[in-house]
Structure 1
Amino acid sequence: MTVAASPSARDLVARVVAVIEATRVDLSLEDRAQEALADALSRAFHPMPVEREVVLGPGERIDIMVGPVGVEVKRNSAGRKATLRQLGRYAGHGRVEGLVLASNRAMRLVPEIDGKPLAFASLGRAWL
């Protein structure tokens, strides 16, 4: 069953993408990129909670949660199919109302996954 995303979830996903794409991050290590993004998102969305390494369920850990929006950071993408499967699993969790894939490699995504908004954020855009 899919549930239509709320307009507020779509808006929050778009705002998260805007902050990520305006943030210069160190891409030498994925952990450094995650830390820089979490810091930037915390400043931009204060007092909304921003958490790192959030366990959604057994074996399911998303890199960052900005309120109800999950952010998965991929420095070197594992491939489109594997990434979409991972995002699909995350979308199945009730806590997740929207998802953002942040990567230094462009990837075409569907606009929704399991009825929840999904967007791509370029980790290199702020360097242009």
Structure 2
Amino acid sequence: MSDPLETLTRQLRGLRLPVTTELALQDALNTWLTDSGLPFQREVRMGPKDRIDFMVSETIGIEVKTRYPRRKIYRQLERYCEGDRLSGLILVTGTYLGLPTEIHGVPVFLVSLGRSAL
């Protein structure tokens, strides 16, 4: 049986998603998640000032960023990975960013839209 986090990441990597604006990307991802039948919530509060874009199956976080400073993206991901709420985190972005395989023990995957958007 395959890991749901890796399966979801592989599926997302196969999609052609818009990178024009963050909202367009979020809306397209919302439509795909709805059509796929996966249980998810949008804009889930992760802390006093943080909301993750999507929470799939209650424990897999998806954060969407189009054009955003790399350092700020990483700091935001770090905050999401604090505690024990996430079993995995997927960053869907048009920004080139190297990521570790884990942050605070939470597996992290990158879905880079740079190539698929060309």
Runs of 4+ residues deviating >6 angstroms:
none
Q: Does 1:51 align with 2:25?
A: no
Partner of 2:63: 72
Q: Deviations over 1:79-119 (max 9, x none)?
A: 2x322211111011432111111111221110001111001
**Is the contact between residue 16 and residue 41 of structure 1 (CA under 8 Å) also seen in structure 2?**
no
Task: Tell me which of 53, 61, 64 is aligned to 2:51.
Answer: 61
- 1:98-113 to 2 correspondences below 5 Å: 98-113=88-103
**Is the contact between residue 27 and residue 75 of structure 1 (CA under 8 Å) also seen in structure 2?**
yes
Stretches of structure 1 lacking an aligned partner (at least 5 in a row): 1-7
Q: TM-score, normalised by structure 2?
A: 0.85
CA distance in 1, matches of 2:19, 2:73: 19
CA distance in 2, matches of 1:56, 1:21: 25
**Is the contact between residue 17 and residue 121 of structure 1 (CA under 8 Å) also seen in structure 2?**
yes
Matched residue pairs, number?
117
Once the two structures are TM-superposed, the CA of residue 125 in structure 1 deviates from its matched residue by 4.3
| RMSD after superposition | 2.0
Q: Deviations over 1:57-97 (max 9, x none)?
A: 21110011112111111101322x32221111101143211
Q: TM-score, normalised by structure 1?
A: 0.79
CA distance in 1, matches of 2:83, 2:68: 22
Q: Which one is further off, 15-24 or 67-76?
A: 15-24
Partner of 2:79: 89
CA distance in 1, matches of 2:67, 2:4: 25
How high is the sequence identity, in percent, across the aligned residues?
36
Partner of 1:14: 6
